Amino acid sequence: MSFPENFVWGAATASYQIEGGVSEGGRGVSIWDTFSHTPGRIVNGDTGDVACDSYHRWAEDVELLKAMHLKAYRFSIAWPRIIPGGTGPVNAEGLAWYSRFVDALLAAGIEPYVTLYHWDLPQALQDKGGWLNADTAKAFAEYARVVAEHFRGRVTHYFTLNEPQCSVGLGYATGAHAPGYKLDDGAVFCAWHNTIYAHCLAADAIRKADLAALVGIAPTGRICTPATDSPADIAAARQAMFDLEDGNWTFTYSPALDPIVLGKWPQIKGGQAQRVIDAIPQEQLDALPLGRLDFIGMNIYNSVAVRARADGKPEFCPRAAGHPRTAIGWPITPEAMEWGPRFLHERYGLPIFITENGLSCTDRIHLDGKVHDPERIDFTHRYLLALRQGIEAGADVQGYFHWSLLDNFEWSEGYNERFGLVYVDYPTGTRTPKDSAAWYRETIDANGGNL
Ligand code: FCB
């Protein structure tokens, strides 16, 4: 059985993780420049200063995408390249750089799927409070307008935000990501709320700038799968996936999607976050309908199994000893790709793109000059089989973007983790497609019928 007709097969990256060229083309400083240059923040003291050097090697990247027969490429635009100060003058050189890139993709028959915010906030906005300041949301909408006007007729698919669960959860709660804050739950929710408000204003600005544009968001979060196929376990998993307790709400889908799809902020049981929700200004509540989505992006890596207790309440199942894991240590749970989209589609009724899925492996160049990565092939094969089951069960999934096209700067893990279909030798920038790249091309050519 193959995948639905016109299924979009793609790969994904993000600006700070691949571009380098941080001081070129009039780019402003982002919070990730500041964070990665702060001693002790990133493994090995790595930074994105050069990364995969895609700022210079972009034409090579397009060739790689072409060779894999990819139909679409999800990449992010760096806000500090377009409006270096966060607000104020637009940097024509930045727009021109992405213009050349988008034109090259279109000429190669590859559809651009643009993420507007994959975490590289202009530092100038951080200096004014970053996402704790509602003005950042307004600045984001202006940036989105500039991009959507510029690319009218060339880019149709936009994702406003990538994973607020991480940019806010790791950025403002645990401090593992830029800007590295460890704030209380009320302040974290304030940053969260401003990012969702930003999505709403930006979605409106994009649609006003380009009537044909389609707008989505790319969240991630806890996926719960039923321990067995019993109706009780399925109900328990569904409940656990969307439930919000004080202290565990950041890594869930509902605080991102409920407000913009269902038009209301969810209840967060307990503490300070709920007090912030109760105090949201009317102007910001009124903005919720502007955020309506054309589709949802899901970044899926793993899940947790849930069973129903005797009283029906959900209970997380412990993982068996020796449960398979990827190189970064994330559990391998293909069933995430069946149940995640099923539960999300059930709750929100919108088309879905898998905007990220993949794994890091300890890849290296073998004696024969090739990069053999059977783990990546097996992992992706299993996850795609599960995705097909989810689609057969009714989830309207329209595309799959593998994370990532290239090995790249994995945030606080630096260059330790290799997630690419293409191996990057960082000292030279040389790219070597891994075995999985050839396997992925065959899968695309067969529309998944080979699986
Ligand atoms: C996701 C991020 C992406 C990448 C993968 C491995 O959380 O969106 O940039 O780091 O994880």
For residue 272, what pLDDT is reported?
A: 86
Q: 30 in a domain, yes or no?
A: yes
For residue 339, what pLDDT is reported?
A: 98
CB of 306 within 8 A of CB of 236?
yes
For residue 247, what pLDDT is reported?
A: 73
Q: 451 in a domain, yes or no?
A: no
d(CA 451, CA 447): 9
For residue 442, what pLDDT is reported?
A: 98
Q: 3 in a domain, yes or no?
A: no
Condensed to tens digits (0 to 9), the pLDDT of residues 367-400 reads 999 999 999 999 999 999 999 999 999 999 999 9
Query: Closest Cα to residue 203, out of 157, 258, 253, 165?
Result: 157
Distance 408 CA to ligand 1 centre (A): 10
Q: Of all atoms in ligand 1, which is nearest to the CA of residue 14? A: 9
Give the residues of the chain that fall short of pLDDT 70.
none
Distance 220 CA to ligand 1 centre (A): 9
Query: What global pTM score does this model have?
Result: 0.98
Q: 177 in a domain, yes or no?
A: yes
Q: 2 in a domain, yes or no?
A: no
For residue 248, what pLDDT is reported?
A: 82
For residue 268, what pLDDT is reported?
A: 87
Q: How many domains does the chain have?
A: 1
Q: Is the peptide bond before 404 cis (omega within 30 degrees of 0)?
A: yes
Distance 166 CA to ligand 1 centre (A): 9
Q: 133 in a domain, yes or no?
A: yes
- Annotated catalytic residue within 19, 338, 356, 417: 356
Compute the CA torsion angle 185, 190, 192, 194 (nearest 10 deg). Answer: 180
Question: Nearest C-alpha to atom 9 of ligand 1 is from which residue?
Answer: 14
For residue 451, what pLDDT is reported?
A: 97
Q: CB within 6 Å of ligand 1 — which residues? A: 14, 17, 162-163, 166, 220, 299, 356, 403, 410-411, 419
SS3 for the chain is CCCCCCCEEEEECCHHHHCCCCCCCCCCCEHHHHHHCCCCCCHHHCCCCCCCCHHHHHHHHHHHHHHCCCCEEEEECCHHHHCCCCCCCCCHHHHHHHHHHHHHHHHCCCEEEEEEECCCCEHHHHCCCHHHCHHHHHHHHHHHHHHHHHCCCCCCEEEEEECHHHHCHHHHHHCCCCCCCCCCHHHHHHHHHHHHHHHHHHHHHHHHHCCCCEEEEECCCCCEEECCCCHHHHHHHHHHHHCCECCCCCCCCHHHHHHHHHCCCCCCECCHHHHHHHCCCHHHHHCHHHHCCCEEEEECCCCEEEEECCCCCEEECCCCCCCCECCCCCECCCCHHHHHHHHHHHHHCCCEEEEECCCCECCCCCCCCCCCCHHHHHHHHHHHHHHHHHHHCCCCEEEEEEECCECCCCHHHHHHCECCCEEEECCCCEEEECHHHHHHHHHHHCCCCCC
Residue 163 appears among annotated catalytic residues? yes
Residue numbers of the domain that contains 420: 8-445
- CA 405, chain centre distance (Å): 14
Q: 186 in a domain, yes or no?
A: yes
CB of 90 within 8 A of CB of 144?
no
Give the mutation target among 19, 46, 166, 376 for probing the ligand 1 site: most ligand atoms within 8 A of CB: 166
Residue 410 appears among annotated catalytic residues? no
Q: What CATH number should be reported for the domain holding residue 437?
A: 3.20.20.80
Q: 330 in a domain, yes or no?
A: yes
